[in-house]
Structure 1
Amino acid sequence: MKLTILSTSDIHGYIYPTDYKQRDQDLPFGLLKINSIIKEIRAKETDLVLVIDNGDFLQGSPLTYYTAKQTKHPARYTSILNDIGFDAGVLGNHEFNYGKEYLADAIATLDHPILCANILNDKGQPAFGKPYELFTFNDLTVAVLGLTTQYIPNWEQPASITGLSFQSAVTCAQEYIPKLQELADIVIVSYHGGFEKDLTTGEPTEALTGENEGFELLKRIPGIDVLLTGHQHREIAAVNSSVAIVQPGDKGHNIGKVSLTIEKEDGKSAILSKKAELISAKNTITSSNMAEKYNGFQNEIEDWLDQKIGDIEGDMWIKDPFQVRLTGHPYIDFIHKVQMEATGTTISGTALFTNDSKGFGPTVTMRDIVTNYIYPNTLAVVEVTGNDLKRALEKSASYFSPSANGQLEVSPAFLYPKAQQYNYDMYAGIDYTIDVSLPIGSRIRHLSYNGKLIQEDDRLEIVINQYRAVGGGNYDMFSADKIIREVTVDMTELIAEYFNKYSPIQPSTFANFQVIQSKTTLLTH
C-alpha cells in the first residue's frame, strides 16, 4: 500500500495569490493554489493521504491582521482552512502574536486537531490541543507527533505566554517516540522548527540556541519515519538517515509531499520505499470554488487596505534596501519618530524588515502601512547601560562584510540558512560610526548622546519593538526584566494615528550615523 503525506508550513495567512501590494494579483503562491494540488492528489491517489499543516497559520498577512484586529473573529479566516480539510495542524511561534485568548478561540473554530506536545501548562500537560494523533487506515496505524520551536519566550510578549513552559523538541520526542512506536506502524513528527546544522556535513549553520533542533531530531531520535519541518522558510526535500524530510518554504509557494510504500504481513509493517519532494504552486490555477466562496471577505480586506491614511510631501520611496541600511532613509526615520512620539523617548531603534518594503508615495493608504511594517509589533521602552547599547550596535554592525573588491555586502550570517534582514537595526537619537574594517565586535566608534560620549555605565532609555526588547534575534543584551514601560497598541495603528495627527508629512532624516571602511568613508547618513 502507499501512504502519501502532504505538508504545508508557514502559510502566514496568504490564502489568495497576492502579497497585497496591489489589488487583483495572481502571484505564484497562496493556499488556494495549494488546495488545487491537494484536491488533485486526493483524487489521484487510490490509497492513503494525510494532509498536515506545520504551523504559522494565524499571523503574517494583511488578511490575518484584518481578521484579528478589525473583525476579531478568527472563524472568518479559519473557515477557509476548514474547507481545505487538513487532517491535523501544529502550532507555530507566530500563533501567539495576537495573544493566548485569540489563539484559543482560533483553535476552537478548527475542524482538525491541533497537535503540540512540548508547550505545557502549569500542570505540566499540553497547553493546546493534543500531543499526538493516531490515524487508522484499515489495519495500518499512523502516528503524528506535533512539536514547536522552544524558543518562543525569546520573542513573544510575556502576557501572551504567561503560565506556559516550553520544552526542547528533542527532549519531548525522546519521551514520546518510543510510545508511538508501540502504538503505530508509521511515526511522523511535524515540527515547527528547522535545521541548526548542515544536513550533509553536520556543521552548525547558526548559533545553537535551541531555536531549531531538526538535525538533533534526525540524528538522535530513532524511530522517526517522516520529519515535517518549517519555521526557516527553506525549501528542502530529502531522505536523510533513512528519514524522509520536507520543508516547503512559506506562503504556499510549495507543498511538501512524502510518499511511503508499505508492506504489512502477519501484523508487522515494513516501509519498502520513501520519497520526499516539493510540488510548486507556480503553474497551478487557484481553486475557483474556494476563491468565489470567499471573494466577499477578500474584497472587504482590499477595500480596508485602500483607505487613505495620510499624505507625504516629498520622497519617501525605497529604491535600494541595502542603501537604506547603509545610509538611513526618511522612511526609517519616520518610524523612529512614531516610536519616539508614542513612548516619550529620545533614542529609538528599528529595522527595515524586508527587502520588499517600498516606502511611501505621495498618498499613503493602509495597504502601504501594512505591506511596509509587516509584523504585529508593539513597543517597549528598555532601560539599558551604555555597554548594552554598544553591544546591540556591534551586533547590528556585523550585518556588513567587506567583499573582495573592497565594497560592502551582507554578511552570510544574515542570509543563511534564513534571511534575517529584520535583525539589522538602525538607531536615532544617538550618533555613531560603524567601521567595517575593524573586527566584528569592535566596530562601533564615536558613540555619543547629546554631544557626549556614552560611557559603559550610563543609563539610557531606548524604544524598540517588543520582539527585540525580550532579546529576539539573539540580542541577549536586551531582556524582559529591562522593560520599564510598554505601549500595547499595534505599530500599524500608531503609524496611522501619527498620520492623523501630523499629515502631511515632510520627509527628513536625523543624519546621525555613518558607515566607513578603514579611513575612507563609504557612505554617510
Structure 2
Amino acid sequence: MKHFKLYYTSDVHGYLWPTDYIQSGLQPQGLINVAANYQKDSNTLVIDGGDMYQGSPLLQYLKKYEDIDAVSDMMNMAGYDYVTLGNHDFNAGYDELKKHLANLNATVLAENVTDENGQTLYPAEIKTLADGTKVGLIGLVTDYINIWEKPEHLAGIKIESPLIKASQTIARLRQSADVVIGIYHGGYERDLDSGKITSMTSENIACQLTAELDLDILLTAHQHGQVPAQLINDTLTLQLPNQAKFYAQIDGELRDGKWLFTASTNSAGTISQPDMFKALQPLNDKVEAWLDQPIANLTSSVAVEEPLILAQYGNDILRWVAAVQMAATGAQITLQGLNNNPSSLPKQLTLRSILQNYPFDNTLVTKRISGADLRVGLEHTANYFVMEGQKLAVNPDWLKPKVEHYNYDLAFGIDYEIDVRRQVGHRITKLQYQGKDIQDTDYFSIAMNNYRAVGGGDYQTYANSEIIYTGDKAIQDMLVAYFEDHDQLPNTPQLLLKVLY
C-alpha cells in the first residue's frame, strides 16, 4: 500500500538552539529540538518553507565573526530533503545566499525564482519513495521580495508571480505524480474563520493558490501563524509559528484508490537531538558570551509596557532609537516602529538587551516626503487602534493572521493627534511642525528604516518618495555605538502625540 510521511518546518530564522535569547534557560523551541522528533525512513521527507538564514542573534553573531555555516550544518544533520526560499533569505544578497545553499544537502525548490530570461533556477521535482509513491513537490516564494529587497541583492535573478509560474508546472507534475505538494513562503490573504479578505496585495495569496492550482497539500509560511491543518478548497493546508517552536507532521495513505491524509502541528518539545546539541554548543556558548557583554550602567531600568500603551506614549527606548536615527541623518522627522518583543531595559545594559529591543537587521534611509504623503502614512498607522465599547484596543487586523506591532510608527519631530472616534482615514486631526500646521505641499526630510522606506507594512506613499540618504550601517550597531559617547538614555526628542478616544 502506498504511503508517505512529511515533517515540515518554516520561518526558523536561525533559531537552532532551544532558546529565544531573551528568557533564561532552555525552552521548547529550536531546530535541534524539532529534529529530535523526526523518525525518518525511506518513505519520509523532511521539508522547510524558508526564512532559514536570517533573524536570530546567533546569525547576527555569525555576520561579524566567521565560524560554521550553522543553519546549513544543522539542517544537514537533521536530514532535510527539500527547502524553499523565504524573503528574508535574500536579505544579505543572492550571492551570499548561494554560499549557504552550496553547503546544504537538501534540494532547493523555488519555481518562481528565475534567471533574467525567466528560466526557473530551482525547479519542481518528483520524488519516488521506497514503496514507489511518487510525490510531486513545487516551491514558491512571495513575489513581494521585489518590493522589499534592494535591487542589487536580486542582481541576475527575477522573482516572478507564484501563481502564474506554478500553473503549468503543476499540470506537468500531475501527469505522473501520485500526490502534488506545494511549499509556499507566503500566507493567507483571508481570515480563515470568516473568509474576510485581510490583504489586497500579492504578498500573501495562499487561498488563491488552493483555489486555482491543482494541489493536494499546500504548506504555507511567512505570517508566523499557528494555523492547524484544515481543508481549503479541498486542499490540505497549515502554517507554523516562527523560531522552530512547532513542526508539522503529515501522513498520507492510499486506500481504495483515494489518498487519505492525517496532519498535526506539534510543539518542538524539550529534548534536543544529541549529536546536533553537541555540534552546536561551542558556537552557542560564544553567542551567549557575546550577548552578555556589558554596554552601559543605567541609573534606572525601563519597565515593560503593553504595545497599546507604547503606541500612545512611547517610552525611553523608543526615544533612544529616534534620537540615534535623527543624529545619524540630520532628518527633521523620524519614524520608529514598535516591537513584537517585550520592550524593557535593565540597569545593567548588555548587548542582549539592545537586540531584544531592536531585533531587526535594518539600516537607515532618509526620504523627502510631502505633507500629503506623511498624512497618508500616519492615517495608515492610526488604523492600529479600534474602540471596543468605551475602551481603546488594538485593531484585530494588526494581530491576525500575523502580529504586526512593528508596523505601527511613532513620529518624532512633529506634533500630532489621532482621534480614534473618527472614521479610518480621517483620524489625524492635528499635524504640526514647529508650531505650524503642515500643508500638503510642504516637504520634510524623514528618517526611517529600510523596510519602511520600501513600503513595508503597506506604506506605499513612503516607497514612492525621493531618497535623500541611504546608510549601510545597521541600526543595531548604531544603538550600541551611542554609548561610546553617552552614559545614559537621551531625554530628547520628545514624543508629541495625543491619542483621543
Please report the TM-score for the alignment, with normalisation by the length of structure 1.
Answer: 0.91
CA drift at 1:78: 1.9
> Which amino acid letter does the alignment assign opposite residue 260 of structure 2?
S
- Are positions 1:298 and 2:318 aligned together? no
- Are positions 1:351 and 2:351 aligned together? no
- Are positions 1:230 and 2:216 aligned together? no
2:410 — aligned with what?
Answer: 426
CA drift at 1:507: 4.8
Superposed CA deviations along residues 249-308 of structure 1, whole A, max 9, x for unmatched, are: 2212211111110269xxxxx4431122112224x4122331122110000100111111
- Are positions 1:177 and 2:165 aligned together? no
1:523 — aligned with what?
Answer: none
CA drift at 1:116: 0.7
SS in 1 for 2:203: coil
Q: Distance in 2 between matches of 1:172 and 1:124?
A: 10
Which residue of 438, 450, 466 corresponds with 1:482?
A: 466
Which moves more between the two structures, 144-153 or 154-163? 154-163
Which residue of 358, 361, 372 corresponds with 2:346?
A: 361
Which moves more between the two structures, 109-118 or 311-320? 311-320
2:299 — aligned with what?
Answer: 313
Superposed CA deviations along residues 70-90 of structure 1, whole A, max 9, x for unmatched, are: 125661432112111100111
CA drift at 1:200: 5.9
CA drift at 1:311: 3.1
1:49 — aligned with what?
Answer: 44
SS in 1 for 2:74: helix
- Are positions 1:326 and 2:312 aligned together? yes
Q: Structure 2 vs 1, CA of residues 200 and 389 (structure 1 numbering), >3 Å: closer, same or farther?
A: closer
Q: Distance in 1 between matches of 2:379 and 2:191?
A: 27
Q: Structure 2 vs 1, CA of residues 73 and 179 (structure 1 numbering), >3 Å: closer, same or farther?
A: farther
2:240 — aligned with what?
Answer: 248
Superposed CA deviations along residues 15-57 of structure 1, whole A, max 9, x for unmatched, are: 112111255x22121111110111xx32xx6x61011001011
Which moves more between the two structures, 356-365 or 335-344? 356-365
CA drift at 1:320: 3.0
Superposed CA deviations along residues 451-483 of structure 1, whole A, max 9, x for unmatched, are: 211100111110000000010111111116522
* Percent of residue pairs bearing the same amino acid type: 33
1:20 — aligned with what?
Answer: 21
> Which amino acid letter does the alignment assign opposite residue 204 of structure 2?
N
> Which amino acid letter does the alignment assign opposite residue 452 of structure 2?
R
CA drift at 1:375: 0.9
1:520 — aligned with what?
Answer: none
- Are positions 1:113 and 2:104 aligned together? no
The answer to whether the Cα contact below 8 Å between 2:52 and 2:71 also exists between their aligned partners in 1 is no
- Are positions 1:94 and 2:88 aligned together? yes
> Which amino acid letter does the alignment assign opposite residue 238 of structure 1?
Q
Which residue of 431, 438, 441 corresponds with 1:447?
A: 431
Which residue of 380, 385, 391 corresponds with 1:400?
A: 385
SS in 1 for 2:165: helix
Q: Distance in 2 between matches of 1:169 and 1:250?
A: 22
Q: Structure 2 vs 1, CA of residues 309 and 480 (structure 1 numbering), >3 Å: closer, same or farther?
A: farther
2:72 — aligned with what?
Answer: 78
Q: Distance in 2 between matches of 1:2 and 1:77?
A: 30
CA drift at 1:396: 0.6
Which residue of 22, 40, 55 corresponds with 1:60?
A: 55
Which residue of 204, 216, 223 corresponds with 2:208?
A: 216
Q: Structure 2 vs 1, CA of residues 454 and 171 (structure 1 numbering), >3 Å: closer, same or farther?
A: same
Q: Structure 2 vs 1, CA of residues 10 and 511 (structure 1 numbering), >3 Å: closer, same or farther?
A: closer
Q: Distance in 1 between matches of 2:106 and 2:357?
A: 33
The answer to whether the Cα contact below 8 Å between 2:332 and 2:444 also exists between their aligned partners in 1 is no
Q: Segments of 4+ in structure 1 off by > 4 A?
A: 506-509
Q: Distance in 1 between matches of 2:12 and 2:298?
A: 33
SS in 1 for 2:64: helix
SS in 2 for 1:317: coil
Structure 2 gaps, min length 5: none
> Which amino acid letter does the alignment assign opposite residue 495 of structure 1?
L
Q: Structure 2 vs 1, CA of residues 476 and 133 (structure 1 numbering), >3 Å: closer, same or farther?
A: same
- Are positions 1:417 and 2:408 aligned together? no
Which residue of 253, 261, 267 corresponds with 1:261?
A: 253
Which residue of 127, 132, 137 corresponds with 1:144?
A: 137
SS in 1 for 2:422: coil
Q: Distance in 1 between matches of 2:493 and 2:326?
A: 14
Superposed CA deviations along residues 307-349 of structure 1, whole A, max 9, x for unmatched, are: 1122323343333332111111111111001111111212100
Q: Distance in 2 between matches of 1:391 and 1:167?
A: 29
Q: Distance in 2 between matches of 1:511 and 1:418?
A: 27
SS in 1 for 2:287: helix
> Which amino acid letter does the alignment assign opposite residue 501 of structure 1?
D
The answer to whether the Cα contact below 8 Å between 2:189 and 2:206 also exists between their aligned partners in 1 is yes
> Which amino acid letter does the alignment assign opposite residue 232 of structure 1?
Q
Q: Structure 2 vs 1, CA of residues 324 and 201 (structure 1 numbering), >3 Å: closer, same or farther?
A: closer
Superposed CA deviations along residues 146-188 of structure 1, whole A, max 9, x for unmatched, are: 1001111222233322443322211112121011112422211
The answer to whether the Cα contact below 8 Å between 2:322 and 2:493 also exists between their aligned partners in 1 is no
Structure 1 gaps, min length 5: 265-269, 518-525
> Which amino acid letter does the alignment assign opposite residue 321 of structure 2?
I
Which moves more between the two structures, 463-472 or 339-348? 339-348
SS in 1 for 2:483: helix
1:512 — aligned with what?
Answer: 496
Q: Distance in 2 between matches of 1:145 and 1:345?
A: 46
The answer to whether the Cα contact below 8 Å between 2:70 and 2:280 also exists between their aligned partners in 1 is no
The answer to whether the Cα contact below 8 Å between 1:313 and 1:506 also exists between their aligned partners in 2 is no
SS in 1 for 2:120: coil
1:386 — aligned with what?
Answer: 371
> Which amino acid letter does the alignment assign opposite residue 350 of structure 1?
Q
